[in-house]
Structure formats: structure tokens, C-alpha cells
Amino acid sequence: MQSQTDVVVVGGGVTGTAIARELSRYQLDVVLVEKSPDVCTGTSKANTALIHAGFNADPDKQKGRLNVRGNELYHERIQHELDVPIEWRGAMVVATDESERPKLEELLAKGQDNGVDGLEILEREQLLKKEPHLTDDAVAALWAPTAGIVNPFELTVGFANNAVENGASVELEAEVTDITQTDAGFTVETARGEIDAETVINAAGLYADEVSAMVGVDDFEITPRRGEYYLYDKQFDIDIETTIFPVPTEVTKGIVVTPTDEENLLIGPNAQEIDDKRDKATTRQGLDKVLDGAQKTVPDLTKKDVIKEFAGLRPAIKETGDFRIQIEEEVPGFINAAGIQSPGLASAPATAELVVDLVEELHGDLEEDPTFDPNYSGPPKVRHMSHEERAALIEEDEAYGQIICRCETVTEGEIRDAINQPVPAQTVNAIKRRVRPGAGRCQGGFCGPRVVEILSEELGIPMTDVKLEGEGSELLTGEIKQPLLERVEERSEVNADD
């Protein structure tokens, strides 16, 4: 790892990677440090994957302003620049009782104030035409055509890879253990060595309060808020075209029913404050709440055809309920991008834009790098190709003719591409996020061993060192008969001692 840079970004979630990529547009040396073996392993990997339109956002808050601007940037730039699935499916907030209608009017007015385009109230008949599986109780809905769905894994990886292509560094397994202030800025101590930087940007998600406290800014606390989800098989009887919200209450936005970019149906999240930032366990009560809540708008849903349940943690600053994106005045050169809960994904490009403004506030106008290329493309997606396109691709490279994951039609070529990206996939889950083996109905039952084999080959490590995700998540514990041999050895040692 290099020992000096202009800017260190702490945290490889969607916010940190978007910031690193936006900074790589300028003549700046940028290093992003991430504690896990991959980017996108925290809040960014387990959420509802929505680009909110912005009608629910409070314009007096940072998150409200950034949501609306972020949505614009996805439309204007990101969808054209990064090779990332984004679909503008639109969202509806469904009133299931006339008493909820005033709330729709309220949201409409708020959305119009925020400058959200195309908002309108749809009546029951129009709704059922759009979504035949919607509840019979539906009376009306606020319709937001600019709402979208995005693949959060490919988005985060896309930001990170594009940043590296433009000269930034992404250092994985580089947990920040301390930050000290120096005359020239900061020394950031990481698990992979020290690095001096003029500016530090803290986008550490759930751990942003801890990182901030390292420089003495400890006036906020991050509370993990857990949200649980069910994900359905893509071969599923209930087709849902748009993102469906119930009418929000003071307490919650309610359970969302939404398609994903890969045509799976996703329902969730509930919201529960917890203490442990590592506790991503699903619970019986939580999951039951999710299904109940989803049935409020789509009553036909059951647990049948669920292929995955998971939980994600949103890093909330409870006191303000807002993002905290600011230069910390008492520590010049330290910028917090903290408390990025929902709509953090929708806001990410705007958050990055704002952080660049803050960096310019500190250092004066930044000079653009003339070689910056905003365009990035990931591996080909054989699953989305026609048979003719597949044939042509395999003519070029036969590795795309070898299917490893049968459920998601993922080829060996795509898996090797993922391992050899600028930000390399080094774990089974890192590969799954990038190119999807194991994301289908068999959940890696068949392709798991093959993926472990390929990782072992490409990384030049034994299969027993291949990890699912973080430290300590090795999939295999050793060679067969190893425990027996160890017992035999122990016994012979005992005998030798006699």
C-alpha cells in the first residue's frame, strides 16, 4: 500500500465508492480503504435497491435534497456511464382506505415542492391495470414515474472499478485502526499499513461514528437499524411491475413490494433498532412482519418460491434522522459522510458531488483530469443474451461457453472476469455480487464447489483458504481425514511421552 496520498476515503460502500470515483475526475491522488475483502459488504449489499423519486424526502434535510439530485444524476449520467442495470419502473404509494387519501395529497404536494417530475394521483381502476395483483382494498395511489430500481452490487462495484480505472486505489482488508492529526493533515493507520493524507473522508457506514471519534469528533452515534427481506424465485406466478409502498406512517415507510433488476421479487424491510453492528441475523418475528406487511398491498404473496431471506443494517443517526455530510470545523481536512441510511443509495451520486464541493471548499478549485473516462463496462452477461449473441461471444472466447451456474446461466468466463477486475472479487460472495453464481434458486448448491475451485486456481491459494465473505468465513475446514490424523498424532505423542 502506498504511504502518501491527497485523499483517503474510508469505506467501500456505495457512498465511499461513489465519492472515490467522483474525486478521480480531478487531479488528485485518492486511496479508498475498506476493512472487508470486498467493496459492498455492509449496508450497500442488503437493502431495497431503490432509486427513490424523492416525494417522501424532507426538503429541509440533507437527505431530501440529495435524494432528488441523486435521482437526476442516475437519469442523466450514471445509467449511461456505468454498465449497471437501472430500470425506471416507477413507484406507487397505495392507499387501502379512503382515510389515507389525504396523506397521498400531502406526499404529492411535498414531492412537487421537491421538484419531482410526473407525480399524479391514480385511481383504483388505473392501479389495477398497472398491477393486477394489487389488493382489492386499493382505493388510490400516488404514482411516481421517476422512481427506479438498481442493482446495488453492480453499482458499487462499478463505481469502485471506474475509480481505479481513473487512477484511484482501492485497498481491501485495510481496516482503519486509528487516525492521528499531523502538520500536513492526517496519518491513517490501517491493517495494511500507514498512509498520510491531507484530507480524510469518512464514509464508514455503520462504523462512521467510531472512525469519526478517532479524530475527536464524537458528538454523534450510529444506531444500526435492521431490516429483513424475502427474495423470490424469478420463475414466480405473481408478476409485479412497479415498486409498491403502503401509505407511510410516522414510524415507518412500510413494507415495500418491488421487482429487482433480475426479475426476482423482493419484499421488505421491517425496521428494528439493535445494538450489535455485526448482527445481520433474520428473525422469525421480523420475517413474519415482512410477509404480513407485503400482503397488505399484494395479498397473494406467500412463502412459496422464496429463494432467500436476508437482513441489512442501516446506519442511522437517531438524533437528527438525517445524513451528516460536512467538513468537521474543529478538525480541518476531515469530512464526514455519515448517517447514510435510506435514501442513501438513491443519493449516492449527489452525495459524491457534495463531497467534491466540500473538498474544493478546503483546497480551492480542483483541476479536472483530462484523461478521466466516466464510462465503465463489466463482464458480458450471457444470461441476458440471445442464442445468436451467445454464439458470437463464444466464438471470441470459449470461456463464455462453459456454464458454471445453471440457475443464473453464469459462465466460467464471467467468473474469471470478476476475479480479474480492477477491484478483484476474492471471495465467493464477491463473485456472486458481480456476476451472480449462487444467486438463484439452488443458492449455490451445484456451482458452489466449482466457484471455490476457480477462485483457488485464479488466486493461487488452496481451496481451504477460500472464503465466503469476511475473515473467518472459510468454506472448508481442511482435508478429509485430517481430524482423524490429528487424533492419531496426539495419541502417538501421548504414547511417546510415556
Partner 1 sequence: MTESREAVTGATNVMRREEHDLVVVGGGPAGLAAAQAAYDEGVEDIVILERDFELGGILQQCIHNGFGVHYFDEELTGPEYAQEFIESVAERGVDIRLETMVLEVTHDRTVYAVNDEDGMTELDAEKVILAMGCRERTRDALDIPGSRPAGVYTAGTAQRFINMEGKLPGEKAVILGSGDIGLIMARRMHLEGAEVEAVLEIMPYTGGLTRNVVQCLEDFDIPLRKQQTITEIHGTDRVESVTVQEVDDNFDPIPGTEYEIECDTVLLSVGLIPENELSVDAGVDLHQVTGGPIVDETRETNVDDIYACGNVLHVHDLVDWVTEESMIAGRSAARSLQDRVETRDEPIEIDKTQKLSYVVPDRISTVDPDREELPLYMRVHAPMEEVFVTLSSGGEQLTRDFQRRAEPGEMITLNVDTETLAELPEPRLELDVVPREEV
Least distance in Å: CB of 474 to partner 1?
6
Distance CA 18, CA 11 (A): 11
Closest CA to 363 of 185, 203, 215: 185
Question: Of the candidates 103, 133, 308, 363, which one interacts with partner 1 according to CB under 8 A?
Answer: 308
- What is the H or E stretch that residue 143 is in? strand 140-144
Least separation in angstroms between CB 20 and partner 1 = 27
- Looking up cell 423482493 gives 266
Stretch touching partner 1 by CB under 8 A, among 84-92, 118-126, 332-340, 478-486: 478-486
Query: Is residue 394 close enough to count as binding partner 1 by CB under 8 A?
Result: yes
C-alpha cell at 22: 467522483
Between residues 98 and 480, which has the closer beta carbon with respect to partner 1?
480
Q: Which of 401, 458, 459, 465 binds partner 1 (CB under 8 A)?
A: 401
Does residue 458 interact with partner 1 by CB under 8 A? Answer: no
Give residue 103's region: left, alpha or beta (phi > 0; psi -120 to 50): alpha
Residue 467 makes contact with partner 1 by CB under 8 A: yes
Among 319, 471, 489, 490, binds partner 1 (CB under 8 A): 471
Task: Based on the shown chain and the rule CB under 8 A, indicate whether residue 258 belongs to the binding site for partner 1.
Answer: no
24 and 166 Cβ atoms separated by less than 8 Å: yes
Q: Which helix (H) or strand (E) holds 71?
A: helix 62-73
149 vs 307, which CB is nearer to partner 1?
A: 307
Dist CA 195 CA 177 (whole Å): 12
Q: By CB under 8 A, is residue 303 in contact with partner 1?
A: yes
d(CA 233, CA 158): 25
Please select the residue that binds partner 1; options are 441, 458, 459, 465, rule is CB under 8 A.
441
- Asked if residue 402 binds partner 1 (CB under 8 A), the reply is yes
CB nearer to partner 1: pick between 108 and 454: 454
449 binds partner 1 (CB under 8 A): yes
Residue number with CB closer to partner 1 (129 or 278): 278
Kind of pairing between the strands at 243-246 and 91-95: parallel
- Tell me the sheet residues that pair with 127: none
> 80 an active-site residue?
no
Distance CA 236, CA 398 (A): 32
Under the criterion CB under 8 A, does residue 477 sit at the interface with partner 1? Answer: yes
Q: Would you count residue 443 as binding partner 1 (CB under 8 A)?
A: yes
At residue 432's C-alpha, the angle toward residues 343 and 441, to 5°, is: 95
Considering the complex, state which of residue 77 and residue 304 has its C-beta at the smaller distance from partner 1.
Answer: 304
The amino acid at 416:
R
How far is residue 209's CA from residue 224's CA, in Å, rounded to a whole number? 11
Stretch that binds partner 1, among 116-124, 175-183, 372-380, 484-492 (CB under 8 A): 484-492
Closest CB 287 distance from partner 1, rounded Å: 6
User: Residue 266 or residue 407: which is nearer to partner 1 going by CB?
Assistant: 407
Binding-site residue total for partner 1 (CB under 8 A)? 66
136 near 230, Cβ under 8 Å? no
Q: Choose the stretch contacting partner 1; rule: CB under 8 A; options: 28-36, 195-203, 293-301, 400-408.
A: 400-408
DSSP 224-258: EEEEEEEEE-SS-S----SEEEEPP-SS----EEE
Which member of 478, 489, 490, 492 binds partner 1 (CB under 8 A)?
478
Query: What is the distance between the alpha carbons of residues 337 and 351, in angstroms, rounded to a whole number?
Result: 8
Closest CA to 304 of 238, 242, 244: 238
Q: Which is nearer to partner 1, 181 or 282 (CB)?
A: 282
Residue 399 in contact with partner 1, rule: CB under 8 A: yes
> Least distance in Å: CB of 453 to partner 1?
7
Whether a cis peptide bond, with omega within 30° of 0, leads into 422 is no
Distances (CA, A) of 291 to 230, 235, 255, 267: 8, 19, 8, 7
The residue from 52, 75, 133, 387 that is catalytic is 52
- 279 is an interface residue for partner 1 by CB under 8 A: yes
Q: Which is nearer to partner 1, 297 or 429 (CB)?
A: 429
What's the min distance (Å) between Cβ of 410 and partner 1?
A: 11
Q: In angstroms, rounded to a whole number, what is the distance separating the alpha carbons of residues 484 and 488?
A: 6
Those residues whose C-beta lies under 8 Å from the C-beta of residue 304, and which sit 6 or more positions away, are: none
Q: Does 384 bind partner 1 (CB under 8 A)?
A: no
Give the residue ranges of DSSP H helices in 115-230. 124-130, 152-165, 208-213
- Residues in 226-255 at the binding interface with partner 1, rule: CB under 8 A: 235
Active site residues: 52
Binding site for partner 1 (CB under 8 A): 235, 278-284, 286-287, 303, 306-310, 387-388, 390-392, 394-395, 398-403, 406-407, 409, 412, 441-446, 448-449, 452-453, 463-464, 467-487
